[in-house]
Amino acid sequence: MSKDLALPGPEIPVIDETRLLDEFGGDQEILNELRDLFLEHVPSLFTDIEEAVQTADAEAFATHVHSLKGACSTYGAPRLAMVCKQAETMAREGDMESVKNCFCEFQNEYNLVYEQIKGVGTGV
Protein backbone atom coordinates (compact mmCIF):
# COMPACT_ATOMS: atom_id res chain seq x y z
CA MET A 1 0.00 0.00 0.00
CA SER A 2 1.36 3.36 -1.03
CA LYS A 3 2.02 6.02 1.60
CA ASP A 4 1.60 9.76 1.23
CA LEU A 5 3.95 12.50 2.33
CA ALA A 6 2.78 14.40 5.37
CA LEU A 7 3.49 17.87 4.05
CA PRO A 8 4.36 20.48 6.68
CA GLY A 9 1.76 23.13 7.39
CA PRO A 10 2.03 26.85 6.67
CA GLU A 11 3.51 27.46 10.13
CA ILE A 12 6.76 25.96 8.82
CA PRO A 13 8.48 28.48 6.51
CA VAL A 14 9.84 27.44 3.12
CA ILE A 15 13.01 29.42 3.91
CA ASP A 16 13.74 30.71 7.40
CA GLU A 17 15.95 33.67 6.49
CA THR A 18 15.66 35.22 9.97
CA ARG A 19 17.05 32.06 11.59
CA LEU A 20 19.84 31.98 9.04
CA LEU A 21 20.86 35.57 9.67
CA ASP A 22 20.81 34.92 13.43
CA GLU A 23 22.84 31.74 12.99
CA PHE A 24 25.52 33.56 11.01
CA GLY A 25 25.65 36.60 13.27
CA GLY A 26 23.78 38.78 10.82
CA ASP A 27 26.57 38.39 8.23
CA GLN A 28 24.79 38.93 4.93
CA GLU A 29 27.94 38.05 2.96
CA ILE A 30 28.03 34.53 4.40
CA LEU A 31 24.33 34.15 3.69
CA ASN A 32 24.90 35.23 0.07
CA GLU A 33 27.75 32.71 -0.30
CA LEU A 34 25.58 29.92 1.07
CA ARG A 35 22.76 30.91 -1.30
CA ASP A 36 25.13 30.79 -4.25
CA LEU A 37 26.52 27.39 -3.21
CA PHE A 38 23.01 26.00 -2.82
CA LEU A 39 21.95 27.30 -6.25
CA GLU A 40 25.15 25.95 -7.82
CA HIS A 41 25.16 22.43 -6.36
CA VAL A 42 21.61 21.42 -5.50
CA PRO A 43 20.12 21.30 -9.04
CA SER A 44 22.50 18.51 -10.08
CA LEU A 45 21.69 16.69 -6.83
CA PHE A 46 17.99 16.99 -7.64
CA THR A 47 18.69 15.59 -11.12
CA ASP A 48 20.32 12.57 -9.44
CA ILE A 49 17.21 12.20 -7.26
CA GLU A 50 14.94 12.29 -10.33
CA GLU A 51 17.06 9.63 -12.06
CA ALA A 52 16.90 7.40 -8.98
CA VAL A 53 13.10 7.69 -8.97
CA GLN A 54 12.90 6.86 -12.69
CA THR A 55 15.12 3.79 -12.27
CA ALA A 56 13.50 2.82 -8.92
CA ASP A 57 16.96 2.78 -7.31
CA ALA A 58 16.02 3.01 -3.64
CA GLU A 59 19.61 3.09 -2.38
CA ALA A 60 20.69 5.92 -4.70
CA PHE A 61 17.48 7.83 -3.98
CA ALA A 62 17.96 7.54 -0.21
CA THR A 63 21.59 8.65 -0.47
CA HIS A 64 20.83 11.68 -2.65
CA VAL A 65 17.77 12.69 -0.63
CA HIS A 66 19.85 12.44 2.55
CA SER A 67 22.36 14.88 1.01
CA LEU A 68 19.56 17.24 0.00
CA LYS A 69 18.11 17.04 3.52
CA GLY A 70 21.49 18.13 4.89
CA ALA A 71 21.70 21.04 2.46
CA CYS A 72 18.17 22.11 3.41
CA SER A 73 18.96 21.90 7.11
CA THR A 74 22.11 23.97 6.64
CA TYR A 75 20.38 26.53 4.48
CA GLY A 76 17.24 26.95 6.55
CA ALA A 77 14.72 25.15 4.36
CA PRO A 78 12.84 23.28 7.11
CA ARG A 79 9.82 22.23 5.03
CA LEU A 80 11.88 20.49 2.37
CA ALA A 81 14.16 18.94 5.01
CA MET A 82 11.07 17.36 6.61
CA VAL A 83 9.82 16.08 3.25
CA CYS A 84 13.29 14.69 2.46
CA LYS A 85 13.34 12.82 5.75
CA GLN A 86 10.01 11.13 4.96
CA ALA A 87 11.03 10.27 1.40
CA GLU A 88 14.38 8.90 2.61
CA THR A 89 12.58 6.66 5.10
CA MET A 90 10.28 5.35 2.36
CA ALA A 91 13.27 4.53 0.15
CA ARG A 92 15.25 2.88 2.96
CA GLU A 93 12.19 0.69 3.60
CA GLY A 94 12.26 -0.24 -0.11
CA ASP A 95 8.95 1.50 -0.78
CA MET A 96 9.77 3.09 -4.12
CA GLU A 97 6.10 2.83 -5.13
CA SER A 98 5.26 5.45 -2.48
CA VAL A 99 8.28 7.52 -3.48
CA LYS A 100 7.12 7.55 -7.11
CA ASN A 101 3.53 8.36 -6.12
CA CYS A 102 4.67 11.27 -3.91
CA PHE A 103 7.37 12.59 -6.20
CA CYS A 104 5.24 15.37 -7.67
CA GLU A 105 4.64 16.80 -4.18
CA PHE A 106 8.34 16.38 -3.39
CA GLN A 107 9.27 18.21 -6.58
CA ASN A 108 6.82 21.04 -5.79
CA GLU A 109 8.45 21.54 -2.37
CA TYR A 110 11.90 21.58 -4.01
CA ASN A 111 10.75 24.17 -6.56
CA LEU A 112 9.36 26.41 -3.80
CA VAL A 113 12.70 26.29 -1.97
CA TYR A 114 14.75 26.87 -5.10
CA GLU A 115 12.69 29.91 -6.10
CA GLN A 116 12.74 31.43 -2.60
CA ILE A 117 16.47 30.84 -2.13
CA LYS A 118 17.17 32.88 -5.26
CA GLY A 119 15.71 35.89 -3.42
CA VAL A 120 17.57 35.39 -0.12
CA GLY A 121 19.81 38.31 0.68
CA THR A 122 18.74 40.27 -2.37
CA GLY A 123 15.92 42.18 -0.73
CA VAL A 124 13.43 40.54 -3.15
For 103-118, write each residue's pLDDT tens digit: 999 999 999 999 998 8
Domains and CATH numbers, the chain: 17-119 (1.20.120)
Q: What is the 3-state secondary structure (H, E, C) of the chain?
A: CCCCCCCCCCCCCCCCHHHHHHHCCCCHHHHHHHHHHHHHHHHHHHHHHHHHHHCCCHHHHHHHHHHHHHHHHHHCCHHHHHHHHHHHHHHHCCCHHHHHHHHHHHHHHHHHHHHHHHHCCCCC
**pLDDT tier at 124, thresholds 50, 70, 90:** very low
| pLDDT score at 47 | 97
